[in-house]
């Protein structure tokens, strides 16, 4: 391969953080913090350099050849199998990495944002115990995420997929001494596992149907298999994979873990729960677009789920008071946007939004982290206010990000959101309306957040007041960089209608399957004027949201409370997140535990009781009759042996009287029995 040094060495990209993680987890305890920072941030930096180099070199290739693959070794050569056609084939999954336009975007974002967040963490985590552990986990996360992205096949992607889940678990539970943190970590892992089950099954089905799980071979295999649009099996694969995506990317119905995940340190929220990991689901759906596009049903499901999640999460975000939780719901909502995009066939728009969202949402989280840092750990917005002048850099960058997420042109969010809404409208106006309202809500709650935090009257407690300080440079520099990116990040996707060239969409185009039948119509031509109208509408509603937030949270702060009292039902519903957690607990979690309890009892009493314990069936029958059956079997042989004596003894005891005549009589009886046994034989010859 002579594609260039970096392209030939893409396998090194995940390896640097892996090495960093290994060093940390094995020897970290004895290392100085400075060394830890150097190794971990350094490894990510090197990764970033390699990633950037690789992307650069990929761009240098002609558009149709932008695909490189490196196979390191045979990983799971599990022997022979049948494919769906009943043919014999060898199952052999290699440890193979690849780079193409789709994941080059991802790898760039991940290493880039990841690097910034690592740098930020140096400052943010500087005073925490378990510094090495934190960085070790972070590096491990980078490794997993990069494996996920760079994997050339589904199984290896699944490695990353589970790996990031694990790191998420470990990092959410970083403060493991806090029960809520540990609970949240567990919840995240288990909910994700449910999704993973879908991925696993989807993978099996893909392998069976297409005979391959190599991403690059899927499209040719589909072509070779002559699958019709709407083939049920494709729908099945798509939906199974989408289950996984809903888990990882926090979509309905598996989004519940993400708000709780805010228990983790803020850089973790920024990196994992905003910028990178949660987008894995989006990435996977985009990656498997060849399959999804064959299934209108699945696409519909994706779109509707996305739209529903978007508005649902946004509505919950309206009333939250925890600064990170607002952002968490915002993330869910934005992920919903991305799925909406994917579902309507606008894969490039989805990925585009993924990228811009990574920039501004990472920025928002880091900013909020900076705020929290300044507030000595306070996260409740009701105890903030008027911080603008006290932490100016944070505030300004935060404001930029807020504008970006609100979709104010020409910031990054505007372009990506606009692309999505445009595509959605073409698919279905209803989806557009939902997205449009969500946009308004987004603008509202984000500005509610900004207003409550940085403007208005200070509600900061006195002791916290003293400590308020701007964060160190290691934290503000990443903020600034991200702010810049939040501004300019969207420009590479400057739409044609505004005089741009849609460079981003063209770049991604080779990885998107193009079937002759028009499915989403996302990329279909449409008139510029109509597009202008849509843009105008979305900017308008964003401004409306901003105005409302300003009016309610700066000018007339009593209004929200009045509203909350007047609409107390709705308020409580929103505030309590529609009681979904409670419903899940009641329906699934507790029922599972109950089932476990019941089965445990069943196991002890029934299964163990049947034909076992030396006494067998007789024991059980007798024990049933004799009321104290339960105690009987549970107490087991120890007590049983005494009782067995009683049970078995009676027939024997009855006859074993010790009296000779009795024994003699028994002999007589035996004789009678034996003779009786033969008397029928004796009778036989007597005609």
Partner 1 sequence: MSVFLHMLVNWFALHFGFLRDNHDLNMVKPQLMLAFFGIAILLTDFLIEPGQKYFNAIFALMGVGFSGTILYQLGRKIGAEGVQDAYSSTVLIDHFSIFFCMLFLAVTALIILLSIRYLQIEEENHGEFYALMLFATIGMMFMVEGLDLIVQFIGLETMAISFYIMVGFLRRERRSNEAALKYLLLGAFSSGILVYGFSLLYGLSASTNLQDIANAVFHRPPTNPLVLLALVTVAAGLFFKIAAVPFHQWAPDVYEGAPTVTTAYLSVASSAASFALLLRLFQTVFWPVREHWVGLLGVVAVASMTVGNLAAITQTNIKRMLAYSSISHVGYILLGLVAAGSGPNGNQNGLTGIAFYIFAYAFMNLGAFAVVIILRRKGLIGDELEDLNGLIHRSPMAAVLLLIFMLSLAGIPPTAGFLGKYYIFLSLLQTNHYYLAIFAALYVVPALYYYFRVVVHAFLKESTDPVKVTLNPWQTLALTVSGFVVLAAGIYPEPFIKLANYSLFLPFGPLGR
Partner 2 sequence: MEFYHSHILSIVLLTPLVGALLMLFVPRSWDNFHRIWGNLWAFAGIAVALPLIWWFQPHSSQRYQFTESMDWIPSIGAKYTLGIDGISMLLVMLTVVLGFISILSAWNAIQPRKKEFYLLFLILQTGMLGVFMSLDFFLFYVFWEITLVPMYFLIGIWGSERRLYAAIKFFLYTLAGSVLMLLAILGMYFKFHDMTGTYTFDIQTLTTGTTLFPLVLQKWIFWGLFFAFAIKVPMFPFHTWLPDAHTEAPTAGSVILAGVLLKMGAYGFLRFSIPMLPAAARSAAPLIVVLSLIGIVYGALVCMMQKDMKKLIAYSSVSHMGFVTLGLFAFTPMGISGSVLQQINHGISTGALFLIVGVLYERRHTRLISEFGGLSTPMPSFAAIYMIITLSSLGLPLLNGFIGEFTILRGVFEVNKMWAVWGVLGIVLGAAYLLWLYQRVMFGQVTNPANTNLSDLNLREYVTLIPLVLWAFWIGLYPKPYFTILEQPVKQIVEQVNPDYYKKPVAPVGAQLPSGTQAPASAATH
Partner 3 sequence: MLSITHYLVLSLALFTIGVIGVVTRRNVIIILMSIELILNAVNINLVAFSRLFGDTAGQVFAIFIITDAAAEAAVGLGIMIAFFRNRETVLADEMDLLKW
Which one of partner 1, partner 2, partner 3, none interacts with residue 220, CB within 5 to 8 A by kind? partner 2
**Count of CA atoms in the C-beta half-sphere (13 A) of 359:** 30
Instruction: Using alpha carbons, select from 342, 306, 311 the residue that is nearest to residue 522.
Output: 342
Helix (H) or strand (E) holding 94: strand 88-99
Instruction: Specify whether the CB–CB gap between 615 and 649 falls below 8 A.
Output: no
96 phi/psi in degrees, rounded to 5: -125, 140
Q: Does 652 bind partner 3 (CB under 8 A)?
A: yes
685 binds, among partner 2, partner 1, partner 3, none (CB under 5 to 8 A by kind): partner 1
Among 59, 606, 634, 668, binds partner 3 (CB under 8 A): 668
Nearer to partner 3, 85 or 671 (CB): 671
- The continuous run of DSSP H or E covering 115 comes out as helix 101-124
Nearer to partner 1, 555 or 649 (CB): 649
What residue 603 binds from partner 1, partner 2, partner 3, none (CB within 5 to 8 A, per partner kind)? partner 2
Q: In this complex, which beta carbon is closest to partner 3, that of residue 555 or of residue 657?
A: 657
673 binds, among partner 1, partner 2, partner 3, none (CB under 5 to 8 A by kind): partner 1
What is the total residue count of the chain?
687
Q: Which is nearer to partner 1, 562 or 657 (CB)?
A: 657
| Phi, psi torsion values for 318, nearest 5 degrees | -60, -30
CB closer to partner 2 out of 202 and 259: 202
> Pick from partner 2, partner 3, partner 1, none: which does 194 bind, CB < 5 to 8 A by kind?
partner 2
Cβ-contact 336, 350 below 8 angstroms: no
What sign has the CA pseudo-torsion 621, 622, 627, 633? negative
Q: In Å, how far are 4, 374, 375, 387, 460 from 465, measured between CA atoms?
A: 55, 9, 8, 10, 6
The encoded tokens of residue 410 equal 């020409």
- Binders in 245-264 for partner 3, by CB under 8 A: none
Judged by CB under 8 A, which stretch of 192-200, 334-342, 489-497, 658-666 contacts partner 3? 658-666
Query: What are the tokens at 19?
Result: 């090495």
From candidates 649, 670, 674, 679, binder to partner 3 by CB under 8 A:
649
Q: Which is nearer to partner 1, 84 or 659 (CB)?
A: 659
Site stretch for partner 3 (CB under 8 A), options 173-181, 273-281, 409-417, 649-657: 649-657
Residues 254-293 that bind partner 1 (CB under 8 A): none
Nearest approach, Cβ of residue 638 and partner 1 (Å)? 11
Please report whether residue 685 would count as binding partner 1 according to CB under 8 A: yes
Cα gap 189→184, rounded to integer Å: 9
For the beta carbon of residue 316, count every other beta carbon within 10 angstroms.
Answer: 27
Distance between CA 168 and CA 173 in Å, rounded? Answer: 8
> Which of partner 3, partner 1, partner 2, none has residue 568 at its interface (CB below 5 to 8 Å by kind)?
none
The answer to whether 656 contacts partner 3 (rule: CB under 8 A) is: yes
d(CA 15, CA 10): 9
The interface with partner 1 within residues 658-677 (CB under 8 A) comprises 658, 660, 662-664, 666-667, 669-671, 673-675, 677
298 close to 202: Cβ distance less than 8 angstroms: no
What is the crossing angle of helices 323-343 and 347-374, to 10°?
Answer: 180
Q: Residue 645 binds which entry of partner 1, partner 2, partner 3, none, with Cβ cut-offs from 5 to 8 Å by kind?
A: partner 1
d(CA 32, CA 42) in angstroms, rounded, equals 15
**253 upstream amide cis, omega within 30 of 0:** yes
**Binding of partner 3 at residue 88 (CB under 8 A)?**
no
Binding of partner 3 by 657 (CB under 8 A): yes
CB closer to partner 1, 473 vs 664: 664
Binding partner of residue 604 among partner 2, partner 1, partner 3, none, CB cut-off 5 to 8 Å per kind? partner 2
How far is the C-alpha of 57 from the C-alpha of 1, rounded, in Å? 13
The number of angstroms, rounded, from the C-alpha of 625 to the middle of its chain's C-alpha atoms is 53
Q: Least Å distance between CB 58 and partner 2?
A: 19
Q: Report d(CA 267, CA 171) in Å as an integer.
A: 10
Q: How many residues sit close enough to partner 1 to count as binding (CB under 8 A)?
A: 28
Cβ–Cβ under 8 Å, residues 130 and 29: no
The distance from CA 246 to its chain's CA centroid, rounded to whole angstroms, is: 7
Partner from partner 3, partner 1, partner 2, none contacting 670, C-beta within 5 to 8 A by type: partner 1
- Sole binder of partner 3 in the list 664, 672, 674, 675 (CB under 8 A): 664
Span of 103-111, 486-494, 581-589, 657-665 interacting with partner 1 by CB under 8 A: 657-665
Binding partner selected for residue 648 from partner 2, partner 3, partner 1, none, CB under the kind-specific 5 to 8 Å limit: partner 1
Taking the complex as a whole, the smallest distance from the CB of residue 684 to partner 3 amounts, in Å, to 21
- The SS3 of residue 614 is coil
Distance CA 347, CA 349 (A): 5
Greatest extent of the chain over all pairs of C-alpha atoms, in Å:
123
Interaction between residue 659 and partner 3 (CB under 8 A): yes
Q: Which residues in 472-531 contact partner 3 (CB under 8 A)? A: none
Toward partner 3, which CB reaches closer, 180 or 657? 657
Q: Give the span between the Cα atoms of 334 and 274, in whole angstroms.
A: 10
Identify residues 613-652 at the interface with partner 1 (CB under 8 A).
614, 641, 644-645, 648-649, 652
- The verdict on 656 binding partner 1 (CB under 8 A) reads yes
Residues 345/520, Cβ–Cβ less than 8 Å:
yes
For partner 1, the binding residues (CB under 8 A) are: 614, 641, 644-645, 648-649, 652, 655-656, 658, 660, 662-664, 666-667, 669-671, 673-675, 677-678, 681-682, 684-685
For partner 3, the binding residues (CB under 8 A) are: 649, 652-653, 656-661, 664-665, 668
């Amino acid at each position: 391969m002579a594609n260039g040094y970096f392209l030939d060495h893409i396998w090194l990209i995940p390896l640097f953080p892996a090495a960093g993680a290994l060093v940390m987890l094995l020897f970290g305890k004895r290392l100085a913090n400075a060394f830890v920072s150097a190794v971990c941030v350094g490894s990510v930096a090197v990764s970033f350099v390699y990633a950037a180099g690789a992307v650069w070199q990929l761009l240098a290739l002609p558009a149709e050849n932008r695909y490189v693959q490196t196979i390191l070794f045979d990983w799971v050569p599990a022997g022979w199998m049948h494919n769906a056609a009943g043919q014999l084939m060898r199952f052999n999954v290699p440890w193979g990495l690849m780079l193409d336009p789709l994941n080059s975007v991802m790898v760039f974002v991940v290493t880039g944002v990841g690097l910034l967040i690592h740098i930020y963490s140096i400052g943010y985590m500087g005073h925490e115990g378990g510094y090495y552990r934190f960085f070790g986990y972070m590096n491990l996360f980078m490794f997993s995420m990069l494996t996920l992205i760079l994997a050339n096949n589904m199984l290896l992607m699944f490695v990353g997929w589970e790996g990031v889940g694990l790191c998420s678990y470990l990092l959410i539970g970083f403060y493991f001494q806090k029960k809520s943190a540990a609970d949240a970590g567990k919840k995240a892992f288990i909910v994700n596992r449910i999704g993973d089950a879908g991925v696993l099954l989807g993978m099996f089905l893909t392998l069976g149907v297409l005979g391959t799980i190599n991403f690059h071979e899927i499209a040719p295999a589909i072509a070779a298999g002559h699958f019709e649009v709407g083939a049920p099996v494709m729908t099945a694969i798509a939906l199974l994979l989408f289950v996984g995506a809903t888990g990882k990317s926090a979509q309905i119905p598996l989004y519940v873990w993400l708000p709780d995940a805010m228990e983790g340190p803020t850089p973790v929220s920024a990196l994992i729960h905003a910028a990178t990991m949660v987008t894995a689901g989006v990435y996977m759906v985009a990656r498997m677009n060849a399959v999804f596009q064959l299934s209108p049903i699945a696409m519909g499901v994706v779109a509707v789920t996305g739209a529903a999640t978007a508005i649902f999460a946004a509505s919950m975000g309206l009333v939250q008071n925890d600064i990170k939780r607002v952002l968490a719901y915002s993330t869910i909502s934005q992920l919903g946007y991305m799925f909406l995009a994917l579902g309507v066939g606008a894969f490039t728009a989805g990925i585009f939004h993924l990228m811009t969202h990574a920039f501004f949402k990472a920025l928002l989280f880091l900013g909020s982290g900076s705020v929290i840092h300044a507030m000595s750990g306070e996260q409740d917005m009701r105890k903030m206010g008027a911080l603008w002048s006290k932490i100016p850099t944070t505030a300004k960058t935060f404001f930029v990000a807020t504008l970006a997420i609100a979709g104010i042109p020409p910031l990054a969010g505007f372009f990506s959101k606009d692309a999505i809404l445009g595509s959605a409208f073409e698919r279905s106006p209803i989806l557009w309306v939902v997205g449009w309202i969500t946009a308004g809500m987004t603008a509202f709650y984000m500005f509610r957040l900004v207003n409550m935090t940085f403007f208005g009257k200070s509600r900061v407690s006195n002791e916290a007041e003293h400590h308020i300080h701007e964060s160190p440079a290691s934290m503000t520099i990443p903020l600034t960089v991200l702010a810049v990116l939040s501004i300019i990040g969207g420009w590479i996707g400057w739409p044609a209608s505004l005089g741009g060239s849609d460079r981003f969409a063209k770049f991604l185009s080779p990885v998107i399957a193009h079937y002759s039948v028009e499915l989403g119509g996302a990329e279909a031509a449409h008139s510029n004027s109509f597009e202008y109208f849509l843009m105008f509408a979305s900017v308008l509603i964003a401004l409306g949201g901003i105005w409302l937030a300003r009016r309610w949270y700066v000018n007339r702060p009593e209004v929200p409370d009045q509203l909350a009292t007047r609409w107390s039902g709705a308020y409580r519903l929103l505030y309590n997140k529609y009681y979904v957690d409670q419903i899940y607990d009641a329906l699934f979690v507790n029922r599972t535990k109950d089932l476990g309890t019941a089965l445990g009892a069943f196991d002890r009493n029934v299964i163990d009781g049947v034909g076992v314990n030396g006494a067998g069936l007789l024991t059980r029958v007798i024990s049933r009759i004799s009321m104290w059956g339960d105690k009987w079997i549970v107490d087991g042989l120890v007590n049983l042996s005494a009782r067995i004596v009683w049970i078995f003894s009676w027939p024997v005891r009855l006859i074993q009287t010790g009296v000779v005549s009795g024994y003699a009589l028994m002999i007589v009886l035996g004789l009678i029995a034996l003779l009786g046994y033969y008397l029928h034989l004796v009778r036989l010859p007597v005609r």
